[in-house]
Structure 1
Amino acid sequence: MTTSEQTDARITPTDAQLEQEGDAAADYLEGLLDIADIDGDLALDVRGGRAYVSVETEAAGSLGRLADPDTVQALQELTRLAVQSTTGRFSRLILDIGGSRDARQRELEVLVDRAIERLEEGASQASLPAMSSYERKLIHDIAADRGFSSESFGEGAERHPVIRRA
Protein backbone atom coordinates (compact mmCIF):
# COMPACT_ATOMS: atom_id res chain seq x y z
CA MET A 1 0.00 0.00 0.00
CA THR A 2 1.42 3.39 -0.98
CA THR A 3 1.58 6.34 1.39
CA SER A 4 -1.33 8.07 -0.38
CA GLU A 5 -3.42 4.89 -0.17
CA GLN A 6 -2.64 4.69 3.55
CA THR A 7 -3.68 8.33 3.98
CA ASP A 8 -6.94 7.69 2.06
CA ALA A 9 -7.59 4.60 4.20
CA ARG A 10 -7.31 6.75 7.35
CA ILE A 11 -9.63 9.37 5.93
CA THR A 12 -12.24 7.00 4.50
CA PRO A 13 -12.36 3.73 6.44
CA THR A 14 -13.53 0.61 4.67
CA ASP A 15 -16.74 -1.14 5.65
CA ALA A 16 -14.61 -3.89 7.21
CA GLN A 17 -12.77 -1.31 9.33
CA LEU A 18 -16.07 0.27 10.36
CA GLU A 19 -17.43 -3.15 11.32
CA GLN A 20 -14.27 -3.68 13.39
CA GLU A 21 -14.96 -0.33 15.10
CA GLY A 22 -18.51 -1.42 15.83
CA ASP A 23 -17.32 -4.71 17.31
CA ALA A 24 -14.75 -2.95 19.50
CA ALA A 25 -17.39 -0.45 20.63
CA ALA A 26 -19.84 -3.24 21.42
CA ASP A 27 -17.24 -5.03 23.55
CA TYR A 28 -16.51 -1.84 25.47
CA LEU A 29 -20.17 -0.94 25.95
CA GLU A 30 -21.11 -4.46 27.05
CA GLY A 31 -18.49 -4.15 29.78
CA LEU A 32 -19.86 -0.78 30.89
CA LEU A 33 -23.44 -2.04 30.93
CA ASP A 34 -22.38 -5.09 32.96
CA ILE A 35 -20.56 -2.91 35.50
CA ALA A 36 -23.63 -0.67 35.83
CA ASP A 37 -25.94 -3.71 35.93
CA ILE A 38 -28.03 -2.32 33.06
CA ASP A 39 -29.69 -4.61 30.55
CA GLY A 40 -29.37 -3.53 26.95
CA ASP A 41 -29.22 -4.99 23.48
CA LEU A 42 -26.61 -3.70 21.07
CA ALA A 43 -27.24 -3.16 17.37
CA LEU A 44 -24.40 -2.38 14.98
CA ASP A 45 -24.67 -0.68 11.60
CA VAL A 46 -22.45 1.03 9.03
CA ARG A 47 -23.89 4.13 7.32
CA GLY A 48 -22.38 7.10 5.56
CA GLY A 49 -18.79 6.19 6.39
CA ARG A 50 -19.46 5.77 10.12
CA ALA A 51 -20.07 2.94 12.51
CA TYR A 52 -23.35 3.29 14.41
CA VAL A 53 -23.93 1.51 17.70
CA SER A 54 -27.35 1.54 19.34
CA VAL A 55 -28.12 0.42 22.87
CA GLU A 56 -31.76 -0.49 23.34
CA THR A 57 -33.90 -2.28 25.87
CA GLU A 58 -37.50 -3.28 26.29
CA ALA A 59 -37.43 -2.48 30.02
CA ALA A 60 -38.88 1.00 30.35
CA GLY A 61 -36.56 3.42 32.08
CA SER A 62 -33.51 1.20 32.44
CA LEU A 63 -31.56 3.36 29.97
CA GLY A 64 -33.20 6.62 31.03
CA ARG A 65 -30.23 8.25 32.74
CA LEU A 66 -27.83 7.10 30.04
CA ALA A 67 -30.04 8.54 27.27
CA ASP A 68 -29.50 12.15 28.45
CA PRO A 69 -27.82 13.98 25.51
CA ASP A 70 -24.80 15.07 27.56
CA THR A 71 -24.34 11.56 28.91
CA VAL A 72 -24.64 10.05 25.42
CA GLN A 73 -22.03 12.51 24.15
CA ALA A 74 -19.65 11.65 27.00
CA LEU A 75 -20.15 7.90 26.53
CA GLN A 76 -19.65 8.32 22.79
CA GLU A 77 -16.30 10.02 23.39
CA LEU A 78 -15.22 7.31 25.85
CA THR A 79 -16.32 4.63 23.38
CA ARG A 80 -14.40 6.32 20.56
CA LEU A 81 -11.28 6.33 22.74
CA ALA A 82 -11.75 2.63 23.52
CA VAL A 83 -12.18 1.90 19.81
CA GLN A 84 -9.07 3.92 18.96
CA SER A 85 -7.13 2.02 21.62
CA THR A 86 -8.25 -1.28 20.10
CA THR A 87 -7.93 -0.44 16.39
CA GLY A 88 -5.18 2.17 16.43
CA ARG A 89 -7.38 4.45 14.28
CA PHE A 90 -9.40 7.58 15.02
CA SER A 91 -13.10 6.73 15.10
CA ARG A 92 -16.12 8.84 14.12
CA LEU A 93 -18.47 6.28 15.64
CA ILE A 94 -21.99 7.39 16.52
CA LEU A 95 -23.60 6.09 19.70
CA ASP A 96 -27.34 6.03 20.29
CA ILE A 97 -28.82 5.07 23.63
CA GLY A 98 -32.51 4.34 23.94
CA GLY A 99 -33.44 6.38 20.87
CA SER A 100 -31.66 9.50 22.13
CA ARG A 101 -30.41 10.39 18.63
CA ASP A 102 -33.94 10.40 17.20
CA ALA A 103 -35.13 12.53 20.10
CA ARG A 104 -32.23 14.95 19.57
CA GLN A 105 -32.98 15.06 15.83
CA ARG A 106 -36.54 16.18 16.63
CA GLU A 107 -35.23 18.84 19.05
CA LEU A 108 -32.85 20.15 16.39
CA GLU A 109 -35.67 20.28 13.85
CA VAL A 110 -37.63 22.49 16.29
CA LEU A 111 -34.56 24.75 16.70
CA VAL A 112 -34.22 25.10 12.93
CA ASP A 113 -37.94 25.80 12.52
CA ARG A 114 -37.75 28.55 15.17
CA ALA A 115 -34.70 30.03 13.42
CA ILE A 116 -36.57 29.99 10.11
CA GLU A 117 -39.47 31.83 11.78
CA ARG A 118 -37.02 34.55 12.85
CA LEU A 119 -35.72 34.77 9.27
CA GLU A 120 -39.25 35.01 7.90
CA GLU A 121 -39.93 37.85 10.38
CA GLY A 122 -37.03 39.80 8.85
CA ALA A 123 -33.84 38.69 10.57
CA SER A 124 -30.84 38.43 8.22
CA GLN A 125 -29.51 35.35 10.00
CA ALA A 126 -30.31 33.15 12.98
CA SER A 127 -27.57 31.84 15.27
CA LEU A 128 -28.11 28.62 17.16
CA PRO A 129 -26.34 27.49 20.36
CA ALA A 130 -22.94 25.84 20.32
CA MET A 131 -23.15 22.10 19.65
CA SER A 132 -21.15 19.07 18.60
CA SER A 133 -19.95 18.58 15.03
CA TYR A 134 -22.49 15.79 14.54
CA GLU A 135 -25.35 18.01 15.69
CA ARG A 136 -24.11 20.88 13.48
CA LYS A 137 -24.12 18.49 10.53
CA LEU A 138 -27.71 17.57 11.33
CA ILE A 139 -28.60 21.28 11.52
CA HIS A 140 -27.00 21.88 8.10
CA ASP A 141 -28.96 18.94 6.63
CA ILE A 142 -32.27 20.07 8.17
CA ALA A 143 -31.77 23.67 7.01
CA ALA A 144 -30.93 22.53 3.48
CA ASP A 145 -34.01 20.28 3.40
CA ARG A 146 -36.10 23.35 4.27
CA GLY A 147 -34.46 25.46 1.54
CA PHE A 148 -32.09 27.50 3.73
CA SER A 149 -28.30 27.70 3.95
CA SER A 150 -26.17 27.35 7.04
CA GLU A 151 -22.58 27.62 8.16
CA SER A 152 -20.70 26.96 11.37
CA PHE A 153 -18.80 29.70 13.17
CA GLY A 154 -16.58 29.83 16.24
CA GLU A 155 -13.86 27.62 17.61
CA GLY A 156 -13.86 24.54 19.80
CA ALA A 157 -16.69 24.24 22.29
CA GLU A 158 -18.13 27.59 21.08
CA ARG A 159 -18.63 26.43 17.46
CA HIS A 160 -22.25 27.00 16.46
CA PRO A 161 -24.43 26.95 13.33
CA VAL A 162 -25.90 30.06 11.71
CA ILE A 163 -28.85 29.77 9.33
CA ARG A 164 -29.56 32.19 6.45
CA ARG A 165 -31.85 32.39 3.46
CA ALA A 166 -30.46 30.34 0.59
Structure 2
Amino acid sequence: MSQDLDQDKSMEQLNEEADIAADYLEDLLDIVDYEGDIEMGVRNHRPTVQIVADDDTDIQHLIGQDGDVVDALQRLTRLAVQQRTGERSHLIIDVDGFLSRKRKKLRRTALDAIDEAGETGEPVDLEPMNSFERKIVHDMVREEGLKSRSHGEEPHRYVTVYPKVDAAEGVDELKDDADQAEEDER
Protein backbone atom coordinates (compact mmCIF):
# COMPACT_ATOMS: atom_id res chain seq x y z
CA MET A 1 0.00 0.00 0.00
CA SER A 2 2.77 2.47 0.83
CA GLN A 3 4.24 1.92 -2.60
CA ASP A 4 0.87 2.96 -4.03
CA LEU A 5 1.42 6.36 -2.43
CA ASP A 6 4.53 6.86 -4.57
CA GLN A 7 2.61 5.73 -7.67
CA ASP A 8 0.74 9.04 -7.45
CA LYS A 9 3.99 10.99 -7.73
CA SER A 10 5.29 12.10 -11.10
CA MET A 11 8.76 11.20 -12.33
CA GLU A 12 9.64 14.86 -11.82
CA GLN A 13 8.66 14.64 -8.13
CA LEU A 14 10.59 11.39 -7.66
CA ASN A 15 13.67 12.87 -9.33
CA GLU A 16 13.35 15.97 -7.15
CA GLU A 17 13.34 13.74 -4.05
CA ALA A 18 16.47 11.98 -5.32
CA ASP A 19 18.15 15.36 -5.95
CA ILE A 20 17.31 16.62 -2.45
CA ALA A 21 18.60 13.37 -0.95
CA ALA A 22 21.80 13.51 -2.99
CA ASP A 23 22.50 17.09 -1.84
CA TYR A 24 21.84 16.11 1.78
CA LEU A 25 24.13 13.07 1.57
CA GLU A 26 26.89 15.05 -0.18
CA ASP A 27 26.83 17.52 2.71
CA LEU A 28 27.07 14.65 5.20
CA LEU A 29 30.00 13.12 3.31
CA ASP A 30 31.74 16.51 3.41
CA ILE A 31 31.18 16.78 7.17
CA VAL A 32 32.76 13.36 7.85
CA ASP A 33 35.41 14.00 5.16
CA TYR A 34 34.62 10.88 3.11
CA GLU A 35 35.18 10.75 -0.61
CA GLY A 36 32.25 9.29 -2.48
CA ASP A 37 30.23 9.47 -5.64
CA ILE A 38 26.47 9.82 -5.53
CA GLU A 39 24.36 8.04 -8.12
CA MET A 40 20.66 8.86 -8.34
CA GLY A 41 17.72 7.29 -10.08
CA VAL A 42 14.20 5.97 -9.80
CA ARG A 43 13.65 2.23 -9.43
CA ASN A 44 10.26 0.55 -9.00
CA HIS A 45 8.75 4.04 -8.84
CA ARG A 46 10.88 4.94 -5.82
CA PRO A 47 13.71 7.46 -5.73
CA THR A 48 17.07 5.81 -5.09
CA VAL A 49 20.47 7.14 -4.13
CA GLN A 50 23.62 5.04 -4.15
CA ILE A 51 26.83 6.12 -2.42
CA VAL A 52 29.94 4.64 -4.02
CA ALA A 53 33.43 5.35 -2.69
CA ASP A 54 36.94 4.31 -3.66
CA ASP A 55 38.05 3.88 -0.05
CA ASP A 56 36.68 0.60 1.34
CA THR A 57 37.42 1.69 4.91
CA ASP A 58 35.19 4.75 4.66
CA ILE A 59 32.46 2.78 2.94
CA GLN A 60 32.36 0.20 5.74
CA HIS A 61 31.67 3.00 8.22
CA LEU A 62 28.70 4.10 6.09
CA ILE A 63 27.29 0.57 6.04
CA GLY A 64 27.80 -0.24 9.71
CA GLN A 65 27.15 -3.53 11.40
CA ASP A 66 24.49 -5.41 9.41
CA GLY A 67 23.47 -2.16 7.70
CA ASP A 68 22.53 -0.18 10.79
CA VAL A 69 24.26 2.98 9.52
CA VAL A 70 22.63 2.65 6.07
CA ASP A 71 19.25 2.36 7.82
CA ALA A 72 19.96 5.46 9.89
CA LEU A 73 21.14 7.40 6.82
CA GLN A 74 17.96 6.41 5.01
CA ARG A 75 15.73 7.57 7.87
CA LEU A 76 17.55 10.88 8.20
CA THR A 77 17.55 11.47 4.46
CA ARG A 78 13.84 10.69 4.20
CA LEU A 79 13.20 13.27 6.92
CA ALA A 80 15.31 15.84 5.06
CA VAL A 81 13.34 15.19 1.86
CA GLN A 82 10.04 15.41 3.72
CA GLN A 83 11.09 18.69 5.29
CA ARG A 84 11.78 20.18 1.85
CA THR A 85 8.83 18.70 -0.06
CA GLY A 86 6.20 18.49 2.66
CA GLU A 87 5.47 14.89 1.63
CA ARG A 88 6.60 11.55 2.98
CA SER A 89 9.24 9.90 0.84
CA HIS A 90 9.89 6.19 0.25
CA LEU A 91 13.43 6.93 -0.86
CA ILE A 92 15.92 4.05 -0.86
CA ILE A 93 19.53 4.69 0.14
CA ASP A 94 22.24 2.15 -0.69
CA VAL A 95 25.93 2.16 0.07
CA ASP A 96 28.28 0.29 -2.25
CA GLY A 97 25.70 -2.36 -3.23
CA PHE A 98 24.93 -3.37 0.36
CA LEU A 99 21.18 -3.70 -0.33
CA SER A 100 21.74 -6.01 -3.32
CA ARG A 101 23.91 -8.28 -1.21
CA LYS A 102 21.34 -8.14 1.59
CA ARG A 103 18.48 -9.05 -0.78
CA LYS A 104 20.42 -12.07 -2.08
CA LYS A 105 21.15 -13.25 1.45
CA LEU A 106 17.50 -12.81 2.48
CA ARG A 107 16.31 -14.74 -0.57
CA ARG A 108 18.63 -17.62 0.36
CA THR A 109 17.33 -17.48 3.95
CA ALA A 110 13.73 -17.54 2.70
CA LEU A 111 14.41 -20.46 0.34
CA ASP A 112 16.09 -22.40 3.16
CA ALA A 113 13.05 -21.79 5.39
CA ILE A 114 10.70 -22.82 2.56
CA ASP A 115 12.68 -26.05 2.08
CA GLU A 116 12.67 -26.76 5.82
CA ALA A 117 8.92 -26.12 6.12
CA GLY A 118 8.32 -28.42 3.17
CA GLU A 119 10.52 -31.20 4.56
CA THR A 120 9.27 -31.09 8.15
CA GLY A 121 5.67 -29.96 7.57
CA GLU A 122 6.19 -27.54 10.48
CA PRO A 123 6.30 -23.72 10.54
CA VAL A 124 9.78 -22.18 10.52
CA ASP A 125 10.54 -19.03 12.56
CA LEU A 126 13.26 -16.73 11.23
CA GLU A 127 15.44 -14.33 13.18
CA PRO A 128 14.04 -10.82 13.90
CA MET A 129 14.18 -8.50 10.89
CA ASN A 130 13.37 -4.93 9.99
CA SER A 131 10.41 -4.15 7.71
CA PHE A 132 12.55 -4.05 4.54
CA GLU A 133 13.92 -7.51 5.28
CA ARG A 134 10.52 -8.95 6.20
CA LYS A 135 8.99 -7.62 2.98
CA ILE A 136 11.64 -9.39 0.89
CA VAL A 137 11.02 -12.66 2.75
CA HIS A 138 7.21 -12.36 2.46
CA ASP A 139 7.50 -11.68 -1.28
CA MET A 140 9.81 -14.65 -1.81
CA VAL A 141 7.58 -16.99 0.19
CA ARG A 142 4.52 -15.84 -1.76
CA GLU A 143 6.38 -16.40 -5.07
CA GLU A 144 7.02 -19.98 -3.97
CA GLY A 145 3.33 -20.50 -3.17
CA LEU A 146 3.65 -20.69 0.60
CA LYS A 147 2.34 -18.55 3.43
CA SER A 148 4.25 -16.37 5.87
CA ARG A 149 3.29 -14.05 8.67
CA SER A 150 5.11 -11.52 10.84
CA HIS A 151 4.93 -11.83 14.61
CA GLY A 152 6.21 -9.88 17.60
CA GLU A 153 6.94 -6.27 18.34
CA GLU A 154 9.67 -4.06 16.89
CA PRO A 155 12.62 -4.44 17.04
CA HIS A 156 12.07 -8.17 17.64
CA ARG A 157 9.50 -8.68 14.87
CA TYR A 158 10.14 -11.87 12.90
CA VAL A 159 8.68 -13.92 10.05
CA THR A 160 7.23 -17.42 10.29
CA VAL A 161 7.14 -19.49 7.09
CA TYR A 162 4.34 -22.06 6.96
CA PRO A 163 4.30 -25.30 4.95
CA LYS A 164 1.95 -25.63 1.99
CA VAL A 165 -1.72 -25.93 2.87
CA ASP A 166 -4.44 -27.67 0.90
CA ALA A 167 -6.14 -25.63 -1.82
CA ALA A 168 -9.38 -24.94 0.10
CA GLU A 169 -7.55 -23.21 2.96
CA GLY A 170 -4.86 -21.65 0.80
CA VAL A 171 -6.85 -18.97 -1.02
CA ASP A 172 -7.84 -17.00 2.09
CA GLU A 173 -4.44 -17.49 3.70
CA LEU A 174 -2.54 -16.23 0.65
CA LYS A 175 -4.72 -13.09 0.73
CA ASP A 176 -3.72 -12.66 4.37
CA ASP A 177 -0.06 -13.06 3.35
CA ALA A 178 -0.35 -10.28 0.75
CA ASP A 179 -1.93 -8.01 3.36
CA GLN A 180 0.89 -8.87 5.79
CA ALA A 181 3.58 -7.96 3.21
CA GLU A 182 1.90 -4.61 2.61
CA GLU A 183 1.74 -3.96 6.37
CA ASP A 184 5.45 -4.73 6.74
CA GLU A 185 6.32 -2.36 3.90
CA ARG A 186 4.65 0.49 5.81
Contact in 1 for aligned 2:46/2:92 (Cα 8 Å) = yes
Q: Does 1:32 align with 2:28?
A: yes
How far, CA to CA, are the matches of 1:48 and 1:10 in structure 2?
10
Q: Percent identity?
A: 38
* Alignment match, 1:144: 142
* Alignment match, 1:111: 109
The one-letter code sitting in structure 2 at the alignment partner of 1:12 is D
Q: Which one is further off, 26-35 or 112-121?
A: 112-121
Contact in 2 for aligned 1:12/1:49 (Cα 8 Å) = no
* Alignment match, 2:131: 133
* Alignment match, 2:91: 93
SS at structure 1 position matched to 2:58:
coil
How far, CA to CA, are the matches of 2:149 and 2:98 in structure 1?
25
How far, CA to CA, are the matches of 2:43 and 2:6 in structure 1?
17
User: What is the deviation of 1:21?
Assistant: 0.9
The 1:9–1:102 alpha-carbon spacing in structure 2 relative to 1, beyond 3 Å, is: closer
Structure 2, unmatched stretches of 5+, are 165-186
* RMSD value, Cα: 2.1
Match of 2:68 among 58, 67, 70: 70
Match of 2:52 among 49, 56, 65: 56
SS at structure 2 position matched to 1:76:
helix
Of Structure 1 and Structure 2, the greater helix share is in: 2
Contact in 2 for aligned 1:63/1:97 (Cα 8 Å) = yes
Q: Does 1:46 align with 2:42?
A: yes
* Alignment match, 1:102: 100
Q: Does 1:158 align with 2:156?
A: yes
Figure out how many residues of one structure are paired with residues of the other and give that number.
Answer: 159
SS at structure 2 position matched to 1:152:
strand
The one-letter code sitting in structure 1 at the alignment partner of 2:35 is D
Structure 1, unmatched stretches of 5+, are 1-7
Q: What TM-score comes out, normalization by structure 1 length?
A: 0.84
* Alignment match, 2:167: none
Contact in 1 for aligned 2:81/2:89 (Cα 8 Å) = yes
How far, CA to CA, are the matches of 1:9 and 1:161 in structure 2?
25
How far, CA to CA, are the matches of 1:50 and 1:138 in structure 2?
16
How far, CA to CA, are the matches of 1:120 and 1:70 in structure 2?
33
The one-letter code sitting in structure 1 at the alignment partner of 2:19 is D
User: What is the deviation of 1:123?
Assistant: 4.0
The one-letter code sitting in structure 2 at the alignment partner of 1:164 is Y
